Chain A
Amino acid sequence: MNAMPHTTRGSAYNFGFLDEYAKKEIRRAVLKAIAIPGYQVPYASREMPMGRGFGTGGLQLTLALIGPGEVVKVIDQGADDSVNAVNLRQFIEMTCPGIATTTKTAESTLIQSRHRIPEQPLTATQILVLQVPYPDPLVVVEPSEDKRKVMHGEADYSRLLVKLYEDIVQFDEITISHRYPTRINGHYVIDPSPIPRWDVPRLNDAAALTLFGAGREKKIYAVPPHTRAEPLAFSDVPFRVEDFRDAAGRRRACARCGCTDSFLDEFVGDAGSKTYQCSDSDWCDEQLLQAEHAQGEPA
């Protein structure tokens, strides 16, 4: 049914799908975002051929930054092979001829991810692009964007902090599980995208540039390399990452690779039994390889 070849064949599109004016605009927004760490730069987000919410903001960043010779990795929920990651990767391959894709974190130059930061620390030659559904952490206390802009400008985050206070009063714990509000370079507080708390410390003083793209909400922001990223907390009630200890207080291990210091996915068996595995599939594979290497025998 290919009546209209340019709607189905990648070659009829510009490299990177978007026209060059659109890419330039996005790059300008990226430069501004890097110059003002944590500030949400508005941009004229284009419609992409996948749903708003499926990573169109991240994808626009990827497509605006990508050049021939790039090695791209796409992750969703930590895995390269989940449906949405495959979909995005195929689209990038189709519209960017000449680039390479990989599942290996170490080999990649550009990583687009939803909900996870790779376990393996990134290097200065890598860029991480995170997909963002809600760019503004203040939206929970103030629905008007106009007013939020003033609050950000004045670094007025007291209403957000009161929410943490009320949490502790009510639950004796800060109940924010993911999208943990994080202050960048001592001023702007960002929504670091729905990464788990486990990943938040990785933003702090990172060697790699992290870019955040919210397609539907039309915002781009950045945590530049070696920049402070501090999760909001009280001096006596510190920020805590997810706790994977069992009833006896032992740290759970990945059932596949045995790793005890990675973020775990929980699987419930038919009989209600629970098993745990690394959420980051590449990390899990690497751990297995290393273990095999150490034992000197292929499994």
Chain B
Amino acid sequence: MNRILEVRGLSRIYGPGCPHCVDATGPEADTNRCPHCGSIVAIHDVSFDLFEGEILGVMGESGSGKSTVVKTLYFDQAPTGGEAVFFDGDTQHELFALNAARQRWLRNHRFGMVYQNPNLGLNFNISAGGNIAERLLMSDLMDYGAIRERAKTLLARTEVLLSRVDDLPKHFSGGMQQRVQIAKALATQPPLLFLDEVTTGLDLSVQARILDLILEIQQELKTAMVVVTHDLGVIRLLTGRAIVMKYGRVIETGLTDQILEDPRHAYTQRLVASAL
């Protein structure tokens, strides 16, 4: 299996930072706030690999830094340290060394993101079809008919009623908004997709259908995914491997089955026990 993403030593500190930030935070210190300078160490020294067609889970409670991991990789926020290499066929991209235009190109062409809050991923003032068109137009598809066909195909695939292709997503239900977001993320057939708490806050039945959809897409398109969630059910259903985070650090990593059946770290044990 080929690697698609290699992340090494990824860090993000909010605030001025000081020489004590790293030592004074983390699972042992039981905080992510540096007592010396007040900075928040959102993530520190996060490393992992992702392979083609694989789904990797990033789990943890709120404040663990799990969302920060995907937000830095998707260029929503710049990291304060660390590296990430994206392997795209024969090309390698050193993500954080690229200029802004190059980063935007990768975002638009090769990455996809589905946010917990559809407001972040969708423009609510343009139609569902327009949202998908925007992403296609970013990748220089300039044929109206082709854009429209592709938008309809994607919405059909994500089970959005075609009669609603020209409606504004702000009038859609939460589950349908997530489907439009997924369709938009998939528009350019990216080899790498980030999913940040995509089912949080949805009804259980809606959750189940969205998760099924993600699995089907992964099997059809062989898209590699990083799934961020606090929900062990989502981890169990979607992911083959997972990392567990607490106060910005990776405390456990391994095959999902192994982590859920036989957690080694005390924190993971509590997490798994509480979900049962």
| A residues at B contact (CB < 8 Å) | 150, 153-154, 156, 158-159, 161-162, 165-166, 168-170, 234-237
- Residues on B with C-beta less than 8 A from A237 are 144
Out of A154, A162, A234, A235, name the residue touching B134 (CB < 8 Å).
A162
* Bound-complex Cα distance A150 to B104 (A): 11
| B residues at A contact (CB < 8 Å) | 100-101, 104, 108, 123, 126-127, 129-130, 133-135, 137-138, 142-148, 166
- Residues on B with C-beta less than 8 A from A158 are 108, 134-135, 137-138
Residue of A nearest to B139 (CB): A158
B101 A165 Cβ-Cβ under 8 A: no
B68, chain A: closest CB distance, angstroms: 23
Which of A150, A165, A166 is the most central at the interface, judged by chain B CB atoms within 10 Å of its CB?
A165
- Residues on B with C-beta less than 8 A from A161 are 133-134, 137, 142
A-B contact pairs, 9 of them (CB 8 A): A158-B108, A158-B138, A161-B133, A169-B127, A169-B148, A170-B166, A234-B142, A234-B147, A235-B142
* Bound-complex Cα distance A257 to B129 (A): 48
A166 B127 Cβ-Cβ under 8 A: yes
B104 A154 Cβ-Cβ under 8 A: yes
Out of A156, A168, A170, name the residue touching B104 (CB < 8 Å).
A156
- Residues on A with C-beta less than 8 A from B134 are 158-159, 161-162
Residue of A nearest to B138 (CB): A158
Closest 8 CB pairs of A and B: A234-B144, A158-B138, A161-B137, A158-B137, A154-B101, A162-B134, A165-B133, A237-B144
B201, chain A: closest CB distance, angstroms: 28
* Bound-complex Cα distance A150 to B100 (A): 9
B137 A236 Cβ-Cβ under 8 A: no
- Residues on A with C-beta less than 8 A from B135 are 158
Residue of B nearest to A157 (CB): B137
- Residues on A with C-beta less than 8 A from B148 are 169
B142 A169 Cβ-Cβ under 8 A: no
* Bound-complex Cα distance A235 to B101 (A): 25
* Bound-complex Cα distance A161 to B135 (A): 11
* Bound-complex Cα distance A234 to B144 (A): 6
* Bound-complex Cα distance A153 to B143 (A): 24
Contacts A235-B143, A236-B144, A237-B144; A169 near B137 (Cβ below 8 A): no
* Bound-complex Cα distance A162 to B129 (A): 10
B143 A236 Cβ-Cβ under 8 A: yes
Known: A165-B133, A165-B137; 18 extra A-B contacts, CB below 8 A, are A150-B100, A154-B104, A156-B104, A156-B138, A158-B134, A159-B123, A159-B134, A161-B142, A162-B123, A162-B130, A162-B137, A166-B127, A168-B144, A169-B148, A170-B166, A234-B143, A235-B142, A236-B143
* Bound-complex Cα distance A158 to B134 (A): 6
- Residues on A with C-beta less than 8 A from B126 are 162, 166
- Residues on B with C-beta less than 8 A from A154 are 100-101, 104
- Residues on A with C-beta less than 8 A from B101 are 153-154
Residue of A nearest to B103 (CB): A154
A142, chain B: closest CB distance, angstroms: 12
A143, chain B: closest CB distance, angstroms: 13
* Bound-complex Cα distance A158 to B136 (A): 9
